[in-house]
C-alpha cells in the first residue's frame, strides 16, 4: 500500500478528506453544507478548512460549485479509509460491539503507523484463514 508522506497530517484534515471522498462516492460531489452536516461543524469552519486544503494542493474548492480531491488528496483519503477499514475488520473478528469499534477506530486511525497497520492487517488475514486460532484467542479472552 503506497501511503503518501502526508498521511501523518492532522486528525481534522484526515476527517475532511475522508468525508469528501465518501460524499463524492455517494453523491458525485461534495459541497460545504454536506461536509458540515457529516462532520457536525459549522459551514463557515468547513469553508475555512477547504481553503486551507486547497492551498495545500489536496482539494480543488470552487465557491458555489463544490469540492473535488486532487490526485494527492485522493491518495491520502484512500489511505485513511484503508486504515479505517483494516482496523474495523480486525476488531470485528473479536465480536466487539459496533459502537465500541467505531469509537476506538476513530481514535486509532489517525495515529497508527504504516508498519503497525501492516502488522494488524497480517494478523487479521491470518485469523480469517485460521478460524481455530481465532476461536482459541476468543476463548482465552473470555476466560479472563
pLDDT tens, position by position, 101-129: 999 999 899 899 999 999 999 999 999 99
pLDDT, tens only, 8-45: 458 899 999 999 999 999 999 999 999 999 999 999 99
Q: What number does CATH give the domain 79-142?
A: 1.10.60.10
Model confidence, pTM: 0.83
Best CA proximity match to 3, nearest among 118, 126, 90: 118
pLDDT exceeds 90 at position 5 = no
Confidence of residue 65 (pLDDT cuts 50, 70, 90): confident
Query: Three-class SS of residue 67?
Result: strand
Q: Please state the domain extents for the chain.
A: 9-69, 79-142
Taking domain 9-69, whether its CATH number is 1.20.1530.20 is answered by no
Cell of 54: 486547497
Cα–Cα distance, 117 to 133 (Å, whole number):
20
Report pLDDT for 126: 98
Whole-number Cα distances in Å, 23 to 2, 10, 37: 23, 20, 11
Amino acid at each position: 500500500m503506497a501511503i503518501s508522506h502526508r498521511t501523518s497530517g492532522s486528525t481534522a484534515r484526515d476527517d475532511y478528506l475522508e468525508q469528501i471522498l465518501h460524499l463524492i462516492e455517494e453523491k458525485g460531489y461534495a459541497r460545504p453544507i454536506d461536509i458540515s452536516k457529516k462532520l457536525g461543524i459549522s459551514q463557515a469552519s468547513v469553508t475555512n478548512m477547504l481553503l486551507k486544503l486547497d492551498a495545500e494542493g489536496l482539494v480543488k474548492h470552487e465557491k458555489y460549485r463544490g469540492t473535488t480531491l486532487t490526485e494527492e488528496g485522493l491518495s491520502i483519503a484512500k489511505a485513511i479509509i484503508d486504515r479505517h477499514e483494516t482496523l474495523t475488520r480486525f476488531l470485528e473478528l473479536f465480536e466487539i460491539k459496533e459502537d465500541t469499534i467505531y469509537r476506538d477506530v476513530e481514535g486509532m486511525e489517525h495515529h497508527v503507523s504504516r508498519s503497525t497497520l501492516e502488522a494488524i492487517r497480517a494478523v487479521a488475514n491470518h485469523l480469517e484463514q485460521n478460524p481455530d486460532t481465532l476461536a482459541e484467542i476468543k476463548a482465552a479472552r473470555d476466560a479472563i
